[in-house]
């Protein structure tokens, strides 16, 4: 065996995917593909349905992570429409809940015997998927004390109600991202060991308003999907196309500390996209490209994946051009290219391993905060963009006023609008500043048009030698 298809949680970031691939290579394997675990489960589900068009939600609740992925399958093409999840949510949480219940009246539990309670807690969780009650017995767990309790499925259902609700919150977000309603789905496939719990199956069925599909083996579906993908790539199986998505947005920091998204989250991969950027100051010799991953409006609130400098020709503000292109391969690994359009010089940076040390919990926190602070973030973005516009306008307007370049019937309105912009900047409120800048823009339209016309006339006269 020399080649491998490896599955990873859908919310693994760029660095984590790269580290997984590197680990496979260190083990002596050629990693030919990395695919998301829910996507692999969908491959297993769709093997006997390739002639049908179907939209399927894969609810993957394992021991430590949760993912909900919505895919469309037709004629052998598997396209991920949306994915959402929680990297700190799984069956281990239920073990901990049961542990806390068992130890609630047991006094202090020595660290060396905690494993006995955790082991019995997991046994109870598993047993209550089939039985209505389970007798927990831990004799002489500290040499003298014993415990015997009966835990019922009804008690477990009460304990896990909030835990299950967290998974449904992710389901709701994935539906919103995909633009679909629950009624648009043809099937809801459950995989992962924790989906054996009756309370989970019942809650998911109620949420999606349809009977859940449990035909896939909870523990084997993902491995089967990876096997199918390996068979396709080796030519042993008929052709299927797998179109995955990137779970978090990728972009760069722009002037003012803003996050400029180049590849939005849930973009089908492999993919590439780019934008053109200009110099922010006269005579600027280089531009710092700070690569970011996340969902927040301000650069400081996202993850920095890497940073590098791109040399550029010294030109007046706004005249130098640097093209930045992001390319994500089929394994979800990122390559960044920056090009000075004047010199044609390219800077290519592979930053795939720079996010390895980001804790998994930070992924879910990033997505949660993007929702929680959506209004505050957008307000700060609006204010920042308006402030930058104001900082350009104010000196230009003051200059034309000082040099008498405005008509007398315009002066009063322009001066009043200028005062309004300065006050709005000082007050720090987003919408009033945006409105004030728009008012000043409108007030100076006629003067700006005259200045442009005079400049064009002067240039023509110079060209004609008049």
Tell me the per-residue pLDDT of 216-237, one tens digit each, with 9 for 90 and over: 788 888 888 888 778 777 766 5
Confidence (pLDDT) at 201: 95
> What is the number of other CB atoms lying within 10 angstroms of the CB of residue 195?
22
pLDDT tier at 126, thresholds 50, 70, 90: very high
pLDDT tier at 402, thresholds 50, 70, 90: confident
pLDDT tier at 358, thresholds 50, 70, 90: very low
pTM for the whole thing? 0.56
Q: How far apart are CA 7 and CA 62, in angstroms?
A: 14
Q: Does the pLDDT at position 50 exceed 70? A: no
pLDDT over 90, % of the chain = 18
> What is the pLDDT of the chain when averaged over all its residues?
82
Confidence (pLDDT) at 363: 57
Lowest-pLDDT choice from 102-111, 170-179, 339-348, 455-464: 455-464
Q: How far apart are CA 454 and CA 434, in angstroms?
A: 29
Q: Which domains does the chain have, with CATH numbers?
A: 3-89+162-242 (3.30.420.40), 91-160 (3.90.640.10), 250-358 (2.60.34.10), 374-464 (1.20.1270.10)
CA distances, 223 to each of 40, 45, 227, 319 (Å) = 7, 12, 6, 53
Q: Does the pLDDT at position 244 exceed 50? A: yes
What does the longest C-alpha to C-alpha distance in the chain come to? Answer: 109
Q: How far apart are CA 414 and CA 396, in angstroms?
A: 12
- Straight-line distance from the first to the last Cα atom of the chain, in angstroms, rounded to the nearest whole number: 82
Q: How far apart are CA 69 and CA 397, in angstroms?
A: 53
Task: Provide the 3-class DSSP secondary structure of residue 6.
Answer: strand
Contact 190, 59 (CB under 8 A): yes
Contact 167, 66 (CB under 8 A): yes
Q: How far apart are CA 196 and CA 128, in angstroms?
A: 10
**Residue recorded with tokens 């307007």:** 397
CA distances, 202 to each of 175, 197, 214, 428 (Å) = 19, 9, 12, 50
Query: pLDDT tens across 136-162, in order?
Result: 888 877 777 778 889 999 999 999 999
Ranges assigned E (strand) in 9-124: 30-36, 54-61, 66-74, 77-86
Query: Which has more confidence, 361 or 210?
Result: 210
Contact 37, 7 (CB under 8 A): yes
């Amino acid at each position: 065996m020399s080649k491998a298809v490896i599955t990873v949680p859908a919310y693994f970031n760029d660095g984590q995917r790269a580290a997984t691939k590197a680990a496979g290579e260190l083990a002596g394997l050629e990693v030919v593909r990395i695919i998301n675990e829910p996507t692999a489960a969908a491959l297993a589900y769709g093997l006997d349905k390739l002639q049908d068009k179907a939209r399927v939600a894969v609810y993957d609740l394992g021991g430590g992570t949760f993912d909900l992925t919505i895919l469309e399958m037709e004629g052998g093409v598997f396209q991920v429409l949306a994915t959402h999840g929680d990297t700190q949510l799984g069956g281990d949480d239920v073990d901990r809940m049961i542990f806390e219940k068992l130890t609630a009246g047991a006094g202090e539990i020595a660290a060396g015997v905690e494993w006995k309670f955790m082991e019995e807690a997991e046994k109870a969780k598993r047993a209550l998927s089939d039985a209505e009650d389970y007798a927990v017995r831990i004799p002489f767990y500290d040499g003298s004390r014993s415990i015997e309790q009966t835990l019922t499925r009804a008690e477990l259902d009460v304990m896990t109600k909030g835990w299950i609700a967290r998974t449904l919150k992710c389901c709701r977000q994935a539906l919103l991202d995909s633009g679909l309603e629950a009624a648009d789905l043809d099937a809801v496939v459950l995989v992962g060991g924790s989906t054996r719990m009756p309370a989970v199956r019942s809650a998911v069925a109620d949420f999606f308003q349809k009977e859940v599909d449990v035909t896939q083996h909870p523990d084997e579906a993902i491995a089967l999907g990876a096997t199918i993908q390996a068979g396709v790539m080796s030519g042993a199986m008929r052709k299927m196309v797998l179109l995955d998505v990137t779970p978090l947005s990728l972009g760069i920091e722009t002037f003012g500390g803003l996050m400029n998204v180049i590849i939005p989250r849930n973009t089908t991969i492999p993919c590439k996209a780019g934008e053109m950027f200009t110099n922010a100051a006269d005579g600027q010799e280089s531009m710092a490209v700070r690569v970011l991953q996340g969902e927040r409006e301000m650069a400081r609130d996202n993850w920095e994946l890497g940073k590098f400098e791109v040399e550029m020709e010294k030109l007046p503000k706004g005249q130098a051009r640097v093209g930045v292109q992001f390319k994500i391969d089929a394994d979800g690994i990122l390559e960044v290219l920056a090009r000075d359009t004047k010199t044609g010089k390219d800077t290519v940076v592979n930053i795939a391993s720079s996010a390895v040390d980001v804790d998994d919990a930070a992924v879910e926190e990033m997505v949660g905060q993007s929702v929680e602070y959506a209004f505050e973030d957008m307000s700060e973005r609006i204010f920042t963009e308006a402030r930058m516009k104001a900082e350009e306008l104010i000196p230009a307007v003051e200059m034309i006023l000082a040099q008498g370049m405005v008509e007398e019937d315009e002066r009063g309105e322009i001066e009043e609008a200028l005062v309004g912009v300065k006050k709005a900047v000082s007050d720090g409120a987003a919408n009033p500043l945006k409105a004030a800048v728009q008012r000043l823009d409108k007030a100076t339209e006629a003067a700006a048009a005259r200045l442009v016309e005079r400049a064009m006339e002067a240039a023509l006269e110079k060209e004609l030698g008049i």
